[in-house]
A and B are shown apart, each in its own frame.
Chain A
Amino acid sequence: MPSLTLLGQAVVSGLLAGGIYGLLALGLSLSWGLLRLVNLAHFALALLGAYLTYQVGTAFGMPPWLAALAIVPAFFLLGMAFHAVFTYFRVTELTSLLVTFGVTVILESLIQWFWTADYRRYETAYATASTRVGPLFVPTLEMLACLTAAGLAVATWAWLRFTYVGKALRASAEDPAIAAAFGVNHRAQAFLLSGVSAAYAGIAGAFIALISTLAPSQIWAWIGVVFAVVIIGGLANPIGALLAGLLIGVSESLTMAVVTPAWAPLVSFSVLIVILIARPGRV
């Protein structure tokens, strides 16, 4: 049995990794739950954001927050452009999965074309900075990412809960025809939400560039875990997505500490399958 300090450190790094899962799950959960579009390309966008941050930082020497400042609005527009294509061709829930699958492969190929399949690491002076809390180390950057995820989740929750746009979006997801009859302009709000979702991918990407080593195939490693997080957290439920992300992060990290790192990818699916078997009506 590992020591208590090791377990505590595992919980801390699990919570921090879970924050990134939650951040990635957030945009996905919104577009799936409120627009009925399953956007696989979300992961490819996040990785593209990460590579762009890396590129801007290493080639032009610009600080990552400046890169994020450019990437977030650009991704917002990109998200709206994708949505324009989806609405023009009347993409359904199932075809959205197929089309964005194609988009993901194209983006992965583009990334591989420009940056090759080699691992890339964005070295910064503060990458290894950390705070000491008692016997535990808390890396600063990951802490920042986790706090951003929490902040965005709460803000998104409040947006959906209290503003007109948020309520209108939820009403349209329940019954588009009735919502339209009450004067909800679903088209405009759907564009807004698609933009926001893509912008979240950009934010996640900037943090990923700072925290982890980049490789094009990373996209596929996320898909399983993050979709499990989205389903466990409940569709269109920002707080649920965050909490599910933390739950999966901690379970994975404890598995790494107690069993062996190689089995960690199985954790999220085991949790998901247990939930599906125990409560088949939940999803």
Chain B
Amino acid sequence: MSATQPSDIIYGRNGVAITKRTGRGGGYRNYEVHQRERVGESTEQIKPLQLISPEHLHDPYPLLEILREHYPFYRDWLANAYWVTRYNDVTSLFADDPNYETRSKRWYYGIENFGRDLREELPVLFAQADGMDTHAEPLAVELASQFAGRDGTDLATEFAARFPLELLTRVLDIPRDDRARFVERYWRMQRGMFWDPLAQQAGRDAITELTAYFEPLLETRRSAPGNDLVSTIANLELDDGPTTAADLVATLLEGDHETLHGGLANLWFLLLTHPEQLDLVRSERRLLKHAWFETLRHSTPVLSAQRFARHEVERFGKLIPEGALIVLSAAAANRDPRIFDAPDQFRVDRRDVCQREPRGMYRADGLAAGIAFGLGRPTRHPAVPEDRPRSLYALTRDAAVTASNVMLETFHEIRLSSKAEPTLQARRIWEMHTCWKLPATLTSS
């Protein structure tokens, strides 16, 4: 029988002891690594089926805690994915573009070749920033005026869901009569990304309808541009040909509305269910910004993002296969007790959340930020402030804060309606975790 002699041990690139085997070809490593990964940890505390259960959709945090504390790199064989749940691990993979690929929404939809995503073009970034900054407050005032005098308002549907899409219509300068139809189509397009074939078909139809709608508008604005995003896109000069309606629609698809929608809904859910926090914000208005950040940490609406390993790479003591699907859980990372003190508490005045726009690995001033995936990575455009458009992170923050501030100014009292039992919920797997019903009574100032 062969025995392992000391001289047979060599050390591999990653410091792991290797028993030298001579004369035999590949294959051995496959099995060993696979087994170490499979068997090295007990997974008694969680079964993959739980991760698609209704309980988990309702409240993901208990299972995420189990993953984060016990199986920080978890092989979910059911979903054929790997879950990463600790803050430092999530942030490190999130920014690691060379090793981990982000796939576009169009890939998930199965329409990889549809249009070009123009979100990174400088003029687009400027136009979006101008649009959002210009229109956020007037739109919020308009919405708030509609709520005045009503018996009650559902802040989730009337405010949080409407504000982002209405804002988008202003940024695009959609003609007033077309706005409602645009919002319906946009919503249908975004919903179609998730697996249900009926919803997917409806989404594809919406994409077709939007493309047809924008074709004439794009041409009009090409020759007579305004300040809006459609005009900007129409007049972009790109190397590989003039912009088309498909490019515009692709860009809209890839854009994120969920963080603003879900963030606003979750923010108001948390404030109304923690009245002492709402009082604090009312008395110290600067804390509204902090409340937004704390919401994105405590109850982030977009729970996770997916990445695909570009190569086989060893991390977390395991070998990740090429092409592996990795789930980066923002929700788990945001409650990591290694980073945040009393992470399960919603506290707008906490001192351990970054209050400035995060850079790089999501830290500025040495503080961690709540991770919210929809807001992208720090811009790659020039670092000099005048040449750099405001980031989506800042734009979203300001839009949310502005709109919420208008609500606080317009209504000196905002309370949950008496029989309301609001809750956060993801309606289907991978969909955002937010409040879909938030009945409130608003008393005008």
> Is B one of A's binding partners?
no
